[in-house]
Amino acid sequence: MVRVGIIKERRENERRVSLVPADIKKLVSKGIEVLVERGSGEGAYFLDGEYEEAGARVLNDAKEVLSNVDILIKVQPPSLEEAKALKEGAIYIGFTRYWENPEYLNVFSERGITAFALEKIPRTTKAQFVDVLSSQATIAGYKAVILAADLSPHLFPMLTTAAGTLKPAKVLVIGVGVAGLQALATAKRLGALTFAYDIRPAAKHDAQSVGAKFLESPVWAEGVGGYARELTEEERRIQHEFLAKHIGNSDVVITTAQVPGKRAPLIITKDMVEKMKPGSVIVDIAADNGGNCELTKPGEVVEYNGVKIAGPLNVPSSVPRPASEMFSKNMANFLELIIKDGQIKLDFGEEILEKSLLIKPGVKNE
Ligand code: NAD
């Protein structure tokens, strides 16, 4: 019988859990045994009793889980200690932050562990059912708008009342990937006037499809795999000139821009913030990766010339319940790729497994 396990996420500010009871129930019904460390779901308000009812075995100690499972599913990369405790030859599925060359990857290699890095899942329509980058970015985009609405001294909708007419807030979203699109849709639903900016041509149509006005600059910079590429010095200068006036006209700016494998691009400079009206707000959800605004302080809200700049970290974890539900559904789907007829069968010719494979015995694929 294949044994799948989850343990409590111990990284600071991590409230998500990698499998929720509803998905475990389905796994158990397919003959998979699931081991859960006690308290794993607490941060997202999934109780041990719910895991037990779903058919999981709840164990007191992470080591008991780690030493007994064939497949470990995690949100955050494991600690060195956790990696050392994982059963030899087991499979790890989770975020890895492999580009930082963490030490635990050597331990994985030594212990013959096969690791799938969720950061490497292809960003295609076919891979959406396992794409945690997309599911978690959806949550982050939504929450960014809620944070912005809370920090802003304005209301988002236009209101016509006996006490007069209030203008709608102008919300500009910079970076229209998955998070940016959800931010635009959320701000629109709250009644804001929405504007979008990106350097990938496909983003224009995407932004328009959720009712935003796309700000079209002369800079287009599509990279590989659907991602953006880093801008050249000259392109950055043109972008800066183009964006400055639009940023100055916005009540709220939400930034989500990322370039794979690099620090998040610096798009909003101090002089641009100086052109914003007092009371304006920037929510920079690229803060985990350095931020898109020069004044962002990751994990803080700072105020400069009356402009509030928030750099929230690990935003999906701040909405842990749906973030865990979506993560868990993606992971239950991932398991279907590797467990066939109750047995682990790794077909490395399958595109998603091939692309997301980080380590297998004798092979490193960083
Ligand atoms: P991301 O987090 O890597 O980046 C967010 C956005 O920032 C992107 O739209 C990017 O173009 C933009 N950006 C980067 N540098 C910028 C700059 N200097 N100025 C302005 N904008 C900048 O993006 P993501 O949400 O992870 O999406 C990555 C790709 O994957 C996109 O092409 C997306 O459409 C694609 N995708 C496809 C599917 C699918 O079903 N086919 C699903 C999810 C994502």
CB of 136 sitting under 6 A from ligand 1: no
Closest among 40, 50, 35 to 8, alpha carbons compared: 40
With H, G, I as helix, E, B as strand and everything else as coil, classify residue 244: helix
% of the chain residues with pLDDT over 90? 95
Q: Does residue 47 surpass a pLDDT of 80? A: yes
Report how far ligand 1's centroid is from the alpha carbon of 341 (Å). Answer: 36
Reported pTM? 0.96
Q: How does residue 225 score in pLDDT terms, banded at 50, 70 and 90?
A: confident
pLDDT in tens, 244-258: 999 999 999 999 999
- Report helix angle 320-338 to 132-151, nearest 10: 170
Span of 150-154, 207-211, 227-231 with lowest mean pLDDT: 227-231
What average pLDDT does the segment 19-38 reach? Answer: 98
What average pLDDT does the segment 23-29 reach? Answer: 98
Closest among 98, 136, 151 to 311, alpha carbons compared: 151
Q: Are 288 and 310 in contact (CB under 8 A)?
A: no
CB of 259 sitting under 6 A from ligand 1: yes
pLDDT in tens, 265-310: 999 999 999 999 999 999 999 999 999 999 999 999 999 999 999 9
Q: In sequence order, which residues have a C-beta less than 8 Å from that of residue 72 and are 6 or more positions away? A: 4, 5, 6, 7, 65, 66, 78, 86, 90, 91, 92, 93, 94
CB of 32 sitting under 6 A from ligand 1: no
d(CA 304, CA 314): 23
Q: Atom 18 of ligand 1 has which residue's CA nearest to it?
A: 265
Burial class of residue 26 (count of CB atoms within 10 Å of its CB; 0-12, 13-18, 19+) = middle
Report how far ligand 1's centroid is from the alpha carbon of 202 (Å). Answer: 9
CB of 173 sitting under 6 A from ligand 1: no
Strands 339-340 and 343-344, how do they pair?
Answer: antiparallel
Which residue among 95, 120, 121, 123 is best mutated to probe the pocket of ligand 1, counting the most ligand atoms within 8 A of its Cβ?
A: 123
Report how far ligand 1's centroid is from the alpha carbon of 228 (Å). Answer: 6
With H, G, I as helix, E, B as strand and everything else as coil, classify residue 151: helix
Domains of the chain: 3-120+319-358 (3.40.50.720), 137-318 (3.40.50.720)
Average pLDDT across the chain, whole number: 96
Closest among 141, 212, 211 to 178, alpha carbons compared: 141
Nearest-atom index, ligand 1, CA of 228: 11
CB of 141 sitting under 6 A from ligand 1: no
pLDDT in tens, 192-221: 999 999 999 999 999 999 999 999 998 999
CB of 148 sitting under 6 A from ligand 1: no
Q: Atom 36 of ligand 1 has which residue's CA nearest to it?
A: 123
Q: How does residue 366 score in pLDDT terms, banded at 50, 70 and 90?
A: low
Please give the pLDDT value at position 224.
Answer: 87
Report how far ligand 1's centroid is from the alpha carbon of 1 (Å). Answer: 40
CB of 124 sitting under 6 A from ligand 1: yes
